[in-house]
Amino acid sequence: MQTDKVVPLLVLHGDGVQGVSEGTMERAPMYREETITGALGLLRDVFLPRVIGQSFANPEALNDALGSFRGNRMARAMVEMAAWDLWARQLGVPLGTLLGGRKDRVEVGVSLGIQPDEAATVDVVRRHVEQGYRRIKLKIKPGWDVQPVRATREAFPDIRLTVDANSAYTLADAGRLRALDAFDLTYIEQPLAWDDLLDHAELQRQLSTPLCLDESVTSAQDARKGLAIRAGGVINVKVARVGGHAEARRVHDVAQAFGAPVWCGGMLESGVGRAHNIHLSTLPNFTLPGDTSSGSRYWETDLINEPLEAEDGLMPVPAGAGTGVTLNRAFLASVSELHEEQRG
């Protein structure tokens, strides 16, 4: 399990208040095409100069200022999400309330990596079931799929169980994936290529288990197209992947119109990004447990002062204005590699 990570943070200041966001891109383009180095350059030279010193009525207006730029949704999301936090704090309301959320706690699950064998898989699942998590997600790959799923389902016949393939399969593996229909999975997540919808639609026609679209949905338009051609029946919403809260809310609304549930995916965020995810998850169509499990599963010391810990599979929504969390500045000072400021 990964326990350390480079975390880009962005702090926007306005009217004596600050909003904070977190970048979820990595050093290498492993999940999407964006990288930390590229994102920092864009923020420094392109995005922030169009925002700093300007007045915006709301984060949607800020989005318009960046609307002429293509792609780079994770970098743009850093600016947009910090603006949402800033605006909510200026108004003195929780971020979730501003987004249209209705919950004071959200259901959470866990994502478990590939284990050495079936016995180890069952053991790690048991530990997390005993902790009360409301969904268990197993990572799978060709050659390691039916075996761990069968062992887990036999040991835990009643748990909500899903699998995540991280684009490891092709249509040639349809028979192998069809075997998973026997195990009452809530969904199979992104089994095919990261930028594909058509092959997912073909695969979905061959399966009774719903497919969950992740990497292949980067906008509400992608969600509409994917659901219209029946490429899946569930969508994993990752705020940064779609460019921020406003677009995440539009993805939520499109999925709701199609009758497709959504859930909030995780990108191994610190408490900053985790708090944003929790607030987004308060929207009504987030009806499946998300990847917003306890921060202590990952970090010995978090970047925020407030603990974000689930109890019996429920994560309380941080109280207070904005995301409801504050930076652990003493710890940040001890681990920061780079600090830059821009002024308008």
Show which residues are catalytic.
139, 238
- Give the strand pairing for 234-237 and 211-213: parallel
* HEC readout, 65-85: HCCCCCCCHHHHHHHHHHHHH
Strands 105-107 and 211-213: unpaired
Residues 188 and 166: beta-carbon distance below 8 Å: no
Distance CA 338, CA 35 (A): 16
Q: Write down the residue that tokens 């292949």 correspond to.
A: 216
- 8 Å CB contact between 111 and 266: yes
Phi, psi of 17, rounded to the nearest 5 degrees: -125, 160
For residues 133 and 30, what is the distance between their CA atoms, to the nearest angstrom? 28
Return the amino acid letter for 198. Answer: L
